[in-house]
Amino acid sequence: MKFKISTGACFIFFSGLYSNLLLPAMELQAQNINIPIVSQHNALVLQVDGNKNLSTIYFGKKLLDQAEYNNIPELYKQGTDYTGILNAAYTPSGSRNLLEPAITVTHADGNNSLDLRYVSHTITQVNDDVSLFSVVLKDPVYNFLVTLYYKSYFREDVLEQWSVIENKEKGAVILQKFASANLYLKAGSYWLNQYHGDWAKEMQPEESRLTHGIKTLDSKLGTRTNLFQPSVFMISLDKPASEDEGTVLYGALEYSGNFRTDLELDYQNNLKIISGINNYSSAYTLKPNEVFTTPAFLYTLSFTGKGNASRKLHQWARNYQLLAGKGNRLTLLNNWESTYFDFNENKLAALLKDTKKLGVDMFLLDDGWFANKYPRNDDHAGLGDWQENKQKLPNGIASLVKEANNNGVKFGIWLEPEMVNPKSELYEKHPDWVIKQPGREEYYFRNQLVLDVSNPQVQEFIYGTIDGLLTKNPDLAYIKWDCNAVIYNAYSAHLKNQSHFYIEYMRGLYKVLESIRAKYPKVPMMLCSGGGGRVDYAALQYFTEFWPSDNTDPLERIFIQWEYSYFYPAITSSNHVTDWGKQSLKFRTDVAMMGKLGFDIVVSRLSDHDLQFCKEAIKTYNAIKPKIWQGDQYRLSDPRAGSIASVLYVNEDQSSAVIFNYLVNNRYNEGSKMPVLLKGLDPVKKYTIKEVNLYPGTVSTIDALKVYSGDFLMKAGFNPDVNAERPSVVLEVNEVH
């Protein structure tokens, strides 16, 4: 299994071109061998001791002299390590370990113990930014190996870490726990920033000081695994980090299925972070000579607060992980909230004209276009029957795509490929393709069930559905891939070993996505899960963007987008202007501009001024979007800390920035009473600040001719003049020569 498809290939390809250092244990003379994994500012230092234990001796600021890492262990007088492996780089269980393990196995002979000792390591310089470290560990008693991989991104200070577990025993070994990574941090105190949520309430942050024992962040939902608990988190060391101060680690598992992160504060006051696929109901049988590759755990460590950590992660994501991270995105008009299931060809023809009138790139046809025996007229029927509904669309998708082309706009379509309604022909024809327990009552989430994506026939069906649509309609420009149900009654009629179910489901899903991308590398796709129920960096290798939430109330959305922005760059965030909330059309549009702009409103009902505003706003957006998508993001004023939210995006050469400012408190006389300190500008450059995206007929209170130095704007600040009359203010900052 390979979750990071590129990794293995890079290793093989570049090892001949760049330095590839293989260091077998016997060649190493010294008692202790250090393996420093360094990036621009950071060092993660592994150490092999005389007994060949591999441990983490340091994770912090890079030292000037590598030899001095050796002095680190003696600095700590934290008491006795009764196990000798408290700081193991990958903690085994059943031998000396007494705390939470990264790996637990049952050997072919039924024995439950595991010990892992260093065998060798390699360092491969993949290119001038990326290096790959691998360390082979082996049980001295059993023929059982684990190779730890660390992929280091030098400029971004980002690490990806995963494990390859290999059974060379004579019989099958059962993996009871099989983490991707096992970090070990040292600090006075640890502050966990985690997230919880539900539908329309995504990314609710919660910060607490970790106490001794284990705190687990996990999901057992199978699909839509971020619904109640996203897998991303932050750990601040010694005190909660702020935007620009403090040491903070961001962690994220690159996996869309069940995840589990254990944070164990041990008796010595060190923090062990063990993250990987959730082993819940997933003991994995590894046959002789079989290899199990875990997904990658992604992390970055910042010593200058959360803002820096975010920018590094954003940079990494755009450079290496996102599909078309540097590419274009399409603005769109979606019909979900304007029609729901109630549309036909005539209505859609009018919407296509509206798409053109508005000036966006594309029309996105949402749910309700398919199924005939059980038409999809509400959310009770039709999922799985991906044929155009003959009553609504007698001439099929093809005629709509053509009509869109005639109007000079593109056409995109919604699908929920992993799902089935019990009221569907698919369910009638293939009940064995559906996840349900034989003999138990079915239990539904949004009146639907999940298809058994572990089954190759189902994979073929899903691939065939998408491929069929794209083959028949080569001009189809976009796919919104939805996923609204979680998995109840987990059971596959196809699999022999039910404990493999959750893992095989994800392998199946990635296989399908891989095949789709092999044939259609460029078609943009939105990752949607009834909102942000599925957002992670494994899925984002295949998707150009995600849908953060069905909650598009702009006030709520400021908070939701703010939290996502810690981990994901704005280019990934699909934001639509809808009729949710009480704010003005301008306010709603401004908020939606902080990412990838779309609309889901009834254009024909807009007043002349509203329509004029939207058209102008799209033009403004098209002019400023390079800064939003590719610029460095600075969160200037936290809506949770005061009445103003303020976010800035600045281009690479610091010649131009855009700042979004909002009033988030409607109490009497609230507003931007104090200046907002700008960030990310060049102190010696001179700038003007102009308000953009004004509603027709309004005059800005900002003097667009006044010139300020970057130094002034970053030390004294700027007042965007936000108040009840001006609750949403967009400013463009431009260098003057």
Instruction: CB nearer to ligand DGJ: give 173 or 383.
Output: 383
Instruction: CB nearer to ligand DGJ: give 306 or 576.
Output: 576
Helix-helix angle 396-406:345-358, to 10 degrees: 30
Residue window 498-517: x/- pattern of binding to ligand DGJ, with contact defined by CB under 6 A: --------------------
- Site stretch for ligand DGJ (CB under 6 A), options 114-122, 157-165, 506-514, 524-532: 524-532
Instruction: Name the token pair of 82.
Output: 């009764």
Rounded to a whole number of angstroms, the minimum distance from the CB of residue 401 to ligand DGJ is: 19
The burial of 697, by beta-carbon neighbours within 10 Å (0-12 exposed, 13-18 middle, 19 or more buried), is given as exposed
- Contact between 195 and ligand DGJ by CB under 6 A: the answer reads no
Instruction: CB nearer to ligand DGJ: give 49 or 579.
Output: 579
- Site stretch for ligand DGJ (CB under 6 A), options 138-146, 526-534, 578-586, 718-726: 526-534
Rounded to a whole number of angstroms, the minimum distance from the CB of residue 484 to ligand DGJ is: 6
Rounded to a whole number of angstroms, the minimum distance from the CB of residue 513 to ligand DGJ is: 19
Rounded CA separation 239/242 (Å): 9
Instruction: CB nearer to ligand DGJ: give 130 or 203.
Output: 203
Residue window 598-627: x/- pattern of binding to ligand DGJ, with contact defined by CB under 6 A: ------------------------------
H or E element at residue 405:
helix 396-406
Judged by CB under 6 A, the residue of 60, 246, 307, 530 near ligand DGJ is 530
Q: What is residue 633's three-state secondary structure?
A: strand
H or E element at residue 562:
helix 554-564
Rounded CA separation 144/490 (Å): 30
Residue window 547-566: x/- pattern of binding to ligand DGJ, with contact defined by CB under 6 A: x--x----------------
Q: What is residue 355's three-state secondary structure?
A: helix
Q: What letter would DSSP give residue 694?
A: P
Q: What letter would DSSP give residue 381?
A: B
Q: What phi and psi, each to the nearest 5 degrees, are found at residue 638?
A: -85, 120
Rounded to a whole number of angstroms, the minimum distance from the CB of residue 368 to ligand DGJ is: 8
- Contact between 484 and ligand DGJ by CB under 6 A: the answer reads yes
Instruction: CB nearer to ligand DGJ: give 222 or 531.
Output: 531
Which residues neighbour 112 within 8 Å (Cβ) at sequence distance 6 or greater?
Answer: 93, 94, 104, 105, 106
Rounded to a whole number of angstroms, the minimum distance from the CB of residue 602 to ligand DGJ is: 16
Instruction: CB nearer to ligand DGJ: give 58 or 336.
Output: 336
Positions in 405-464 near ligand DGJ (CB under 6 A): 414
Instruction: CB nearer to ligand DGJ: give 260 or 480.
Output: 480
Q: How many CB atoms lie within 10 A of CB 2?
A: 16
The burial of 668, by beta-carbon neighbours within 10 Å (0-12 exposed, 13-18 middle, 19 or more buried), is given as exposed
Q: What phi and psi, each to the nearest 5 degrees, are found at residue 196?
A: -135, 175
Provide the greatest CA pair distance for the chain: 80
The candidate with the shortest Cα–Cα distance to 591, out of 562, 631, 558, 566, is 558
Instruction: CB nearer to ligand DGJ: give 156 or 482.
Output: 482
369-378: long-range pairs with CB below 8 Å, 24+: 369/393, 369/397, 369/413, 369/414, 371/424, 371/425, 373/424, 373/425, 374/421, 374/423, 374/424, 374/425, 376/341, 377/341, 377/342, 378/341
Rounded to a whole number of angstroms, the minimum distance from the CB of residue 337 to ligand DGJ is: 8
Q: What is residue 3's three-state secondary structure?
A: coil
Rounded to a whole number of angstroms, the minimum distance from the CB of residue 541 to ligand DGJ is: 21
- Contact between 528 and ligand DGJ by CB under 6 A: the answer reads yes
Q: Which single residue brings its beta carbon nearest to ligand DGJ?
A: 367
- Site stretch for ligand DGJ (CB under 6 A), options 14-22, 211-219, 346-354, 525-533: 525-533
Contact 545, 329 (CB under 8 A): yes
- Contact between 649 and ligand DGJ by CB under 6 A: the answer reads no
- Contact between 546 and ligand DGJ by CB under 6 A: the answer reads no
* Count of residues that interact with ligand DGJ, criterion CB under 6 A: 11
Rounded to a whole number of angstroms, the minimum distance from the CB of residue 15 to ligand DGJ is: 44
Instruction: CB nearer to ligand DGJ: give 39 or 448.
Output: 448
Rounded CA separation 715/501 (Å): 56
- Contact between 531 and ligand DGJ by CB under 6 A: the answer reads yes
Q: What is residue 190's three-state secondary structure?
A: strand
Instruction: CB nearer to ligand DGJ: give 481 or 708.
Output: 481
Cα 34 versus chain centre, distance: 33
- Contact between 166 and ligand DGJ by CB under 6 A: the answer reads no
Instruction: CB nearer to ligand DGJ: give 149 or 543.
Output: 543
- Site stretch for ligand DGJ (CB under 6 A), options 5-13, 283-291, 527-535, 674-682: 527-535
- Site stretch for ligand DGJ (CB under 6 A), options 23-31, 430-438, 462-470, 523-531: 523-531
The dihedral over CA atoms of 495, 499, 503, 505, expressed in degrees to the nearest 10, equals 40
| Rg (alpha carbons) of the chain, rounded to whole number | 27
> Which residues, in sequence order, are bridge partners of residue 209?
191
Contact 303, 236 (CB under 8 A): no
Rounded CA separation 174/96 (Å): 20
Instruction: Name the token pair of 74.
Output: 């003696």
Rounded to a whole number of angstroms, the minimum distance from the CB of residue 485 to ligand DGJ is: 11
Residue window 355-374: x/- pattern of binding to ligand DGJ, with contact defined by CB under 6 A: -----------xx-------
Rounded to a whole number of angstroms, the minimum distance from the CB of residue 529 to ligand DGJ is: 7
Rounded to a whole number of angstroms, the minimum distance from the CB of residue 360 to ligand DGJ is: 17
Residue window 323-352: x/- pattern of binding to ligand DGJ, with contact defined by CB under 6 A: -------------x----------------
Q: Following DSSP, what letter does each residue of 504-537 receive, concatenated?
A: HHHHHHHHHHHHHHHH-SS--EEE-BTBBSS--T
Binding site for ligand DGJ (CB under 6 A): 336, 366-367, 414, 482, 484, 528, 530-531, 547, 550
